[in-house]
Structure 1
């Protein structure tokens, strides 16, 4: 009986070690997955912040009275114009385009990319309109489209980051 008892004790101890090892591995894997998800969330948040900063700088430059902008018809989108900037505006355009590419690189959801591209197109249309109009003569429709695109992007980015829906801010609708 003592041999059988020793075997049972050894098997139970071995099962305990195997179960303990498996649980440790499982917990480490879950911990690694949470840390990985947190790192990607931080990367996305930083990328979206950089995109929004580049977008704001692009629009601010577009509205400068001294901005020199030209526009030609878009080769693939017949109802849209493509803006071109002088040397002073080129860094804003390049930073904006680079930030768009970064969003496309790190975004996990197609809706975030779609709304980002929509925001870029709306900003480009304001810049293209600015090519023929002074900053004071730009129509409110261009800006309504721009602010709508911005709100859509913010909502999509917040959803992807796992944040709650954007709170309504009185006067900022």
Structure 2
């Protein structure tokens, strides 16, 4: 009886230590995954916020009565024209395009960068219209389409970030 007890006690102790180590490792891995997901969510939220800010600055510049914007047909023959800004407006265009590239880099779902690209396309249409219209004469339907593109992007970003869609 003493021999069986002297063998059984260390085996049970070793099993307890092994089980405790496994549970600790599993818990640490789960915490690491949760922290990693939280960090990526923060990175995505920051990228989406920067993109929306860049979009607003781009549109604000396009609506500025003093903005100097020209337009030319898209080089690949698409059905819209490309706006070109002067030196004052160029940083707005570059910031918007850089923010869109950041979204492509950090997005986990394909829908989010697709809706961001759609939003940029609509913003470019507004800016291109500004090349031939005064700031107050840009066709209203361009802004309606732009508003829908913003709403689609927000819905995609909220879905990706697992935020309520209110």
TM category (shorter chain) comes to: over 0.9
Inter-partner Cα distance in structure 2 for 1:89 and 1:32: 43
Q: Which structure 2 residues correspond to residues 1-173 of structure 1 after superposition, within 5 A?
A: 1-165=1-165, 167=166
Distance 2:34 2:78 in 1: 46
Residues of 2 paired with 1:109 and 1:81: CA distance? 29
Give, in whole Å, the separation in 1 of the partners of 2:154 and 2:4: 68
The runs of 4+ residues in structure 1 deviating greater than 6 Å are none
Cα distance in 1, alignment partners of residues 140 and 6 from structure 2: 86
Gaps of 5+ in 1: 168-173
Cα displacement (A) at 1:77: 4.6
Q: How far apart, in 2, do the equivalents of 1:26 and 1:67 lie? A: 58
- Tell me the TM-score normalised to structure 2 length: 0.98
Structure 1 pair 77/6, CA: closer, same or farther in 2 (3 Å)?
Answer: farther
| Distance of 1:100 and 1:44 partners within structure 2 | 12
- Give unmatched runs, 5+ long, in structure 2: none
Distance in 2 (alpha carbons) for counterparts of 1:78 and 1:163: 35
Q: CA RMSD for the aligned pairs?
A: 0.7
TM-score by length of 1: 0.94
Task: Give the aligned length.
Answer: 166
CA deviation map 1:51-73 (0-9, x unaligned): 00000000000000010111111
